[in-house]
Amino acid sequence: MKNSEVKKLQALSIRRDDVVSDENWFKMMRDIFFGYENEVVLERAAEQKLKECAVEEKVCKRG
């Protein structure tokens, strides 16, 4: 499971009843979604790097 999926599930699993105040709930959700967005960016960058390496490898094999 990707880290971004874990972050998303974490956000979905938090119930408002578990948090003392609305302000705390919003802070927790903000922090979780920042983590989610960061993980998505990192995963996309890693996928792009793999694609670039695969292309370079094909070019090197041809030459």
Q: Which domain holds residue 37?
A: 3-62
Residue pair 63/41 in contact (Cβ under 8 Å)? The answer is no
Which pLDDT score, from 0 to 100, does residue 1 have? 75
Q: Which amino acid is at 60?
A: C
Q: Which two tokens stand for residue 16?
A: 């408002």
Q: What is the pLDDT of residues 6-33, one digit of tens each?
A: 877 777 777 666 666 878 888 888 888 8
Estimate to the nearest angstrom the gap between the alpha carbon of 9 and the chain centroid: 11
Residue pair 30/8 in contact (Cβ under 8 Å)? The answer is no
pTM of the model as a whole: 0.62
Q: Is the pLDDT of residue 5 over 90?
A: no
Which pLDDT score, from 0 to 100, does residue 63 have? 61
More confident residue, 38 or 10: 38
Looking at the structure of the chain, the number of domains it has is: 1
Residue pair 45/23 in contact (Cβ under 8 Å)? The answer is no
